[in-house]
Amino acid sequence: MSKKESLQKTVTMASSENLLEVHNLVKYFPIKSSFFKRTIGNVKAVDHVSFNIKRQHTMGLVGESGCGKSTCGRTILRLIEKTSGEVYFDGQDVYALTKEELRRMRPRMQIVFQDPYSSLSPRLPIGEIIAEAVREHNIVPANELNDYISRVMEVCGLPAYYKERYPHEFSGGQRQRICIARSLALAPDFIVCDEPVSALDVSIQAQIINLLEQLQEEFGLTYLFISHDLSVVEHISDTVGVMYLGTLVEYAPTDLIFSNPLNPYTKALFSAIPVPDPDVKINRIILEGSIPSPANPPAGCKFHTRCSQCQEVCKYVAPRWKEVEPEHFCACHLYNDISEDASAREEMAKAKAAEEASGSSNTEGSKDLL
């Protein structure tokens, strides 16, 4: 196993309590030259990410815009192909499935998108939108389809008589209920919820979150919940992963990570959570500098160009993934002693020698290439 691969070897290996296991997942998007269409670089959208999700649990995935959350969710579902790494769903290697096996697996792994309007065909009534895939995957016999769709709609808070209406006749919250009903109708085990409430106003957000929780309880669902909204993530998640520039920098049970964030990036991100009590003083950490390009991330720790606690080693060596306290994983040199890590010292010496030889500084990754 390469050093990079060992970075995020996380949590436990295959075990039946996990519905989903993601090992060293990588998704790079090639950057083509405009003339010869040659690959001249890669956008490192997901860069060696590993985590597990237990059955009937919710993992929240957070991080700044463009850090790779959606790409991670889509690559797990094989809606886009991985560059490397492994994804196990219920013990099965998702990327080893044939086209037909994947088609049969599809109903079990669903996604709900941020923008409900654009993911609903404007030309079909919603009863048909929900029924389409149910029919395709033979979820129920044809003579039971109509009743089945009515039941699914009612479970999602949509009266069955709405079946004949078209998506434009609904509010944003109702459209998101339609999207959830469409996924739920396939009797899934796992749903990637990609910013499912970001397009909705606060009171409707609460209704949709309650619906998701109620459905999880009733149908034993497992969620990967992607969101910018840390308060929502804290409310709904059992565990939380924090991503920065395609890399997972911290992962822990929700109460642990919110009460004791370890990584300086997580601390800065969480310091922006609004507190309802005006007497409570918030020590907001303002991050300096812009997010580096994922096409040319900084060497060493990708966050070193913006981290107030950056040390020399951070500029040269990517921090190892470490269980700092039980179940609380973090990649940061503050929790690794370089004097005890011969390979890190060797890596740093080589990187410094290479830097001196080239006469350049490895903070150049912070310059935007795109």
Per CB under 6 A, residues contacting ligand ATP are 29, 43, 45, 63, 65-71, 294
- Comparing C-alpha atoms, which of 167, 165, 70, 162 is closest to residue 117? 167
332 binds ligand SF4 (CB under 6 A): yes
Q: CA 45 → CA 69, 99, 149, 293, distances in Å? A: 8, 25, 37, 10
Give the residue with the Cβ less far from ligand SF4, 254 or 305.
Answer: 305
Among 178, 333, 348, 365, binds ligand SF4 (CB under 6 A): 333
Instruction: Output Rg (C-alpha) for the chain, integer angstroms.
Output: 22
Q: Nearest approach, Cβ of 268 to ligand SF4 (angstroms)?
A: 10
At 254, the amino acid letter reads T
* Residue length of the chain: 370
Give the residue with the Cβ less far from ligand ATP, 76 or 318.
Answer: 76
Structure-block tokens of residue 152: 């699914």
- The site partner of 307 among ligand SF4, Mg ion, ligand ATP, none (C-beta below 5 to 8 Å per kind) is ligand SF4
Instruction: Please tell me whether residue 300 adopts helix, strand or coil conformation.
Output: coil
The residue count for binding ligand SF4 (CB under 6 A) is: 15
Q: Nearest approach, Cβ of 297 to Mg ion (angstroms)?
A: 18
- The site partner of 265 among Mg ion, ligand SF4, ligand ATP, none (C-beta below 5 to 8 Å per kind) is ligand SF4
- The site partner of 294 among Mg ion, ligand ATP, ligand SF4, none (C-beta below 5 to 8 Å per kind) is ligand ATP
Instruction: Please tell me whether residue 319 adopts helix, strand or coil conformation.
Output: coil
- The site partner of 29 among ligand SF4, ligand ATP, Mg ion, none (C-beta below 5 to 8 Å per kind) is ligand ATP
307 binds ligand SF4 (CB under 6 A): yes
Q: Nearest approach, Cβ of 175 to ligand SF4 (angstroms)?
A: 40
Which residues in 54-93 contact ligand SF4 (CB under 6 A)? Answer: none
Q: Nearest approach, Cβ of 153 to Mg ion (angstroms)?
A: 28
Q: Nearest approach, Cβ of 243 to ligand SF4 (angstroms)?
A: 13
Which residues in 252-271 contact ligand SF4 (CB under 6 A)? Answer: 263-265
Q: Which residues contact 4 (CB under 8 A, 6 or more apart)?
A: 48, 318
Q: Which residues contact 230 (CB under 8 A, 6 or more apart)?
A: 62, 269, 270, 272, 273
Q: Nearest approach, Cβ of 265 to ligand SF4 (angstroms)?
A: 6
Q: 330, 80 in Cβ contact below 8 A? A: no
Cα-Cα-Cα-Cα torsion 341, 363, 261, 113, nearest 10 degrees, comes to: -120
Element (H, E) at 256: helix 254-259
Backbone angles phi, psi at 119, to 5 degrees: -95, 10
312 binds ligand SF4 (CB under 6 A): no
- The site partner of 66 among ligand ATP, ligand SF4, Mg ion, none (C-beta below 5 to 8 Å per kind) is ligand ATP
| Pairing label, strands 190-194, 222-226 | parallel
- Comparing C-alpha atoms, which of 121, 113, 222, 133 is closest to residue 166? 121
CB crowding 210-220: b at 16 or more within 10 Å, else e: ebbeebbeeee
Backbone angles phi, psi at 299, to 5 degrees: -70, 170
- The site partner of 259 among ligand ATP, ligand SF4, Mg ion, none (C-beta below 5 to 8 Å per kind) is none
Give the residue with the Cβ less far from Mg ion, 118 or 210.
Answer: 118
Q: 276, 202 in Cβ contact below 8 A? A: no
- The site partner of 273 among Mg ion, ligand SF4, ligand ATP, none (C-beta below 5 to 8 Å per kind) is none
70 binds Mg ion (CB under 5 A): yes
- Bridge partners (DSSP) listed for residue 4: none
Interface characters, 155-174, with ligand SF4 (x: CB under 6 A): --------------------
Structure-block tokens of residue 47: 């860069």
Structure-block tokens of residue 292: 């580096």
Q: Nearest approach, Cβ of 266 to ligand SF4 (angstroms)?
A: 9
Residues that bind Mg ion (CB under 5 A): 70
Interface residues with ligand SF4 (CB under 6 A) are: 263-265, 301, 303-304, 307, 309-311, 314, 319, 332-334
